Amino acid sequence: MQEILASYTLENEKILVEVMNLGASLVRFIDKKTNTDIVLGFDNLEDYKNHSEVYMGATVGRCANRIENGRFKINDVEYLLSINQPPHSLHGGFSSFSNTIFETRQTENAVFFTYESKDMEEGYPGNLKLEIEYRLVSNHLFYFIRGESDQDTLFNITQHAYFNLDGKGNILNHKMRIYTDKVAMIDQNGLTKDMWVYVKDTPFDYRDLAVIQKQLKKSHWNIQEGYDHHYIFENMDYKCMAELMNENTLLRIESDLPGMHVYSGNYLNVVGKNGEIYQSKSGICFECQFYPNAIHYDKYLKPILKAKKKAEYTICFSVEEEYEHPANKCNS
């Protein structure tokens, strides 16, 4: 039976959202106040399959980000993963959830995507039942991640939408604020190391609203093409993690996950919506997740889902009707 790509629309008076069954992906996010689609994407659903390497709007996992040398141990058993970005395994391997057709159910204000990832799929242990829910509530788009496995396994799912509040061009003139003062360093292959720095006096400092272009003009030994770095919170409280802002829109990112990987689309090179050529800095991702490669590090929360235990995490993207100083709504 041929797998059919399909999309589903959620709409209220503030937001229109389109999601699709391939990768449980976010296809459109229209802020009705400005009538702007603030996520990058493609005009045709087939193009999401044809350009899966950019994870456009996709759900990624079982384990987001890079796992060192594609191997890890749980309960003293070593598991070998697909090496899809040598020498590491990235975003779950070749058949990441971003390449999966999900079963779909829609209600009035939510779409539910479900998939059962079989034991040893891409090398991961356990039969994992995954549910992704997109729910529209006023000016909030909630993204719920739910999972249950029959064996201990890794479970670190995230949403990989590229945001651009102008809907075109690049995000260099956007302002950003990030609610932590710690950021992790990466190696030459993009692997997050067991090493972090304070953001003060670096291009990573977004404790106050700062223009992205202005910050990137500052030099730093760990930045080459742009941001591909994990901001550290290391608590499971529901919290404001970041804000992105242009002249007309404020996007707020909240989550109960312990960190957020910021990726400035450094290697984009693809034709997107309306023939727009997406290149470096055309969009920016806020990938809320556990510390990358945490299974190999001792000091960070590990994304281990215990057998027969249920996990649920939340990411929320909100568009504000007018700019309000972040301190009024978020803890700084």
Cα–Cα separations (whole angstroms), residue 311 to 146, 205, 261, 299: 6, 32, 20, 21
Burial (CB < 10 A; 0-12, 13-18, 19+), residue 38, is buried
* pLDDT band per the 50, 70, 90 thresholds, residue 321: low
Cα 179 to Cα 244: distance, rounded to the nearest angstrom:
12
The whole-model pTM stands at: 0.96
pLDDT for residue 327 is more than 80: no
Looking at domain 7-328, does it have CATH number 2.102.10.10?
Answer: no
Give the pLDDT mean for 143-165: 98
Q: Which of the 8 DSSP states describes residue 97? A: G
Helix, strand, coil shares, percent, the chain, to 5:
10, 45, 45
Angle in degrees, CA 15, 286, 26, rounded to 5? 45
Give the pLDDT mean for 39-46: 97
For every residue of 284-295, DSSP letters joined together read: BEEEEESPTTGG
Cα 211 to Cα 305: distance, rounded to the nearest angstrom:
38
Give the pLDDT mean for 249-255: 98
Tokens of 169: 């061009």
